[in-house]
Amino acid sequence: TNVSPPGHDLVREFTDAFRAAGLKVGLYYSLLDWQHPDAYPLDLPGYPKSNRSRDHARYVDYLHGHLRELMTRYGRIDVFFINAGIEGEVKSIPDASLATFDRVMAVNVRGSFLVSKYALPLLRKQGGAIVHLSSGVATTGTRNRAAYTASKGAVLALTKSLAVQFGRDHVRVNAICPG
């Protein structure tokens, strides 16, 4: 849940903190990717609606190519800050749609999984960190946002699993849970 006041740039705070620590910062604005013809349909204002079939494997290859470019053309990358998140419907579970649940899980959990998957080979060679943006609701819950809460809980569990598995490779994996 975004509790930042309107007009407040949360990413700027992280960017400034990383730079103050002497780290290079690169931003990869993945929402642009959701306009790829094979991306998972978001049904957000301003995005075209389509009933045509999508080739998710082709979209994953496209995403992998973007990450490969970021990891090979711009020098050392110390931190991957992964903020994959849409909220979905604000409804009680009996009134919520399965399609929205699936969409929220696909964007929030699958997005975090895929970027982590493709960042880890590089980070295992050189060391570094992955930071997932989860949410305070991952540990407390909230009303009428079951899909979002479940997705951010899954991101938190993914973070813990990766931290245990890849810590010995000098890859730190943490989550920030605002709210």
Catalytic residue among 28, 40, 118, 148: 148
* SS3 at position 156: helix
Tens digits of pLDDT across the chain (179 residues): 344 454 556 667 777 887 889 876 666 555 445 566 766 655 555 555 655 667 767 777 877 787 777 777 767 778 888 888 888 889 999 999 998 899 899 889 988 998 899 889 989 998 999 999 999 999 999 999 999 999 999 999 999 999 999 999 999 999 999 98
To the query of whether residue 148 is one of the catalytic residues in this protein, the response is yes
The tens digit of pLDDT for each residue in 75-110 reads 777 888 888 888 888 999 999 999 889 989 988 998
pLDDT of residue 47: 52
